[in-house]
Structure 1
Amino acid sequence: MKSLYKIALLVCIALFVSSCKDNLKPNYQYMPNMYEAVSYETYSESNAFKNGKEGQLPPAGTINRGFEVYDYPNTTEGYELAKANLKSPLDSTSVDLEKAKGLYEIYCAICHGNAGDGKGKLVTQGKYLGVPNYKDRVITTGSVFHVQKFGLNSMGSYDNQMSAHERWLVSSYVMKLKSEL
C-alpha cells in the first residue's frame, strides 16, 4: 500500500511540473542580450562614434598618461645640448648606488664591463668592437641619459627597458665609474 502511495505521489509531482510549461507563453529572460548577443561586423561603421566611421581622436595638446616630456631631439645637436644642459633631477642623497650598480650590471656591463673599461663579455669574445672606455670619453650625466634614451652608434635604446628614474640612476653610476678609472 505504501508503494502505491509513493507511485501516485511521483505521478502527481510529474504532472504538476510538466503542466507549468506553456509553449505559447515562453518565460521572460533576465538581460536577454547576455543569452543572445547582438553581433557586429568587425570593421563596419558604427553609430557609437561622432562621424560614424572611426574612433574619436584625443583632444589637441593632451599627452598619454605616464608620458614624460623629453625636450632634446635624437640628433647630434640634441646630444650636444643634453651634454651641456641636461642635469639629473636626483640629488646625491637620493641615488641608491646598490640599485644603480645592479641595473648597470644587467643592462650595460655585458658590453662596457663591470669597471666601465669597455671590456665586457661581448667585447672580449669579439662579438662587438669599439666599445668605449669611460675614461677616454668626455661625458656628463646628461649625455649618458640621452644615449640611454635614444642609443648611439651600435648601442640601442634602453627607453623601453628602464624608467627615466632608473636611467638617471645608471647615469650617476657611470659617472662614479668614470671618476674611479
Structure 2
Amino acid sequence: MINKSISLYWVLSILTVFSIFSCQQPGKNVTGSEYMPDMAHSIAYEANTYGYYYNNRWGSEGDLHKMVQPRIPTKGTIARGSVGGIYGFGSSGSHQGIALQANGAMPYYYSDTEDERIRAINDIVKNPFPITDAGLKKAEGLYNIYCGICHGDKGDGGGYLVRDNGGKYPVQPANFLTDEFIASSNGRYYHGIIYGRNLMSGYGDKLSYEERWQVIHYIRSLQAASKKLEYSEKSNTLNSVDVPAALLKKEEVATDSNTMSGDTINSIKR
C-alpha cells in the first residue's frame, strides 16, 4: 500500500510539473515551453549586431565573440574602405590587375564628418589610376566645368566667380598651388570632391569614380606647372606617389621579357 502511495505521489508530481510548464505563456522574445516546435519559430538574427543565442551548443559565448572579430583580409582581396581599389581587369587599371564596375560607381566608407575627413586624408594616399595624357586631357574639361569657375584655370583660387569686377564673394576658394595643398594627400582632394568643403558643395553625384581621380591628376599637373616640374604620362617630378603610365609600360615590358626568356629556355631544354 505504501509503495502504491509513493508511486502515485511521483506520478502526480510529474503530471503537476508538466501541467505547470505547459501553461507557460509566450512573451515578446520567448515562445514558452513547446513540445516538438518543429522549427515553427525561427531565430531572427539582427544584421550587423553581435548577439549570442542562449540555446547554442557548439561553443561558449567567448568562442562566438572570437569568431565575429575582424580578420586580416585574404591575400589578393581588397579591404573594405579601400577606395583606392577597383575590381577586375581593364585598360585604365590594368597596372593593378583591376577594373571599374560597369556604371563607374564605387563604395566610399568615410562619412561627412571632420574626423572621417582626417581619416580619409591619412588613409587614401595613392591614386589608383596611372598618369596618362588622355586622362589629363579628359580631366581638363571636367575641371573647367566643375572646378575652374571658383578655383581658376590655373588652380590658384582666382576663378570667374571671384574676378575683380564680379562683386563680393563670401569666401576665397582654395588655392591649390600653395605648399600646403601640394603636400596634401590625394585623400584630401577625393573626400572634398565627394562631400564638398565649407561653401563648396560635393560633386560625387556629378563625377564618376574614375573622373574624380583624373581630376585629381589634373590638379597635380597644375601644381607641377606652377613649380616648373613635370607631371605627365612620361614623368612625374612633383611627388613619389602618383605613377606615370610610361613607367608602368616599362615594367610590363620587363616582366614580359623575363617570362619570354624563361619560356625560350624551357623550349631549348626540350
TM-score (norm 2): 0.40
The correspondence of residues 26-175 of structure 1 with structure 2, limited to 5 A, is 68-86=106-124, 87-93=126-132, 96-124=135-163, 125=166, 126-136=168-178, 137-138=180-181, 139-175=184-220
- C-alpha distance in 2 between matches for 1:70 and 1:178: 26
Maintained 8 Å contact 1:95/1:169: no
Query: Residue 49 of structure 1 corresponds to which residue in structure 2?
Result: none
Maintained 8 Å contact 1:141/1:172: no
- C-alpha distance in 2 between matches for 1:173 and 1:140: 14
Does the C-alpha gap of structure 1 residues 154 and 70 become closer, same or farther in structure 2, counting only changes over 3 Å? same
Q: CA RMSD in A?
A: 2.3
How far off its partner does 1:160 sit? 1.0
1:115-155 CA distance string (max 9 Å, x none): 00100000112335321211223322221111000000000
- C-alpha distance in 2 between matches for 1:113 and 1:103: 13
Query: Residue 27 of structure 2 corresponds to which residue in structure 1?
Result: none
- C-alpha distance in 1 between matches for 2:112 and 2:156: 26
Secondary structure, counterpart of 2:131 in structure 1: coil
How far off its partner does 1:101 sit? 0.5
* Number of residue pairs matched by the alignment: 119
How far off its partner does 1:164 sit? 1.2
- Give the letter for the 2:202 counterpart: S
**Unaligned ranges ≥5, structure 1:** 1-59
Maintained 8 Å contact 1:147/1:157: yes
How far off its partner does 1:109 sit? 0.3
Report the structure number with the largest CA radius of gyration: 1
Does the C-alpha gap of structure 1 residues 95 and 150 become closer, same or farther in structure 2, counting only changes over 3 Å? farther
- C-alpha distance in 1 between matches for 2:224 and 2:133: 19
- C-alpha distance in 2 between matches for 1:95 and 1:155: 27
1:18-60 CA distance string (max 9 Å, x none): xxxxxxxxxxxxxxxxxxxxxxxxxxxxxxxxxxxxxxxxxx7
- C-alpha distance in 2 between matches for 1:76 and 1:94: 34
Percent identity (aligned): 34
Query: Residue 224 of structure 2 corresponds to which residue in structure 1?
Result: 179
Does the C-alpha gap of structure 1 residues 128 and 115 become closer, same or farther in structure 2, counting only changes over 3 Å? farther
Query: Residue 45 of structure 1 corresponds to which residue in structure 2?
Result: none
**Unaligned ranges ≥5, structure 2:** 1-46, 49-101, 227-270
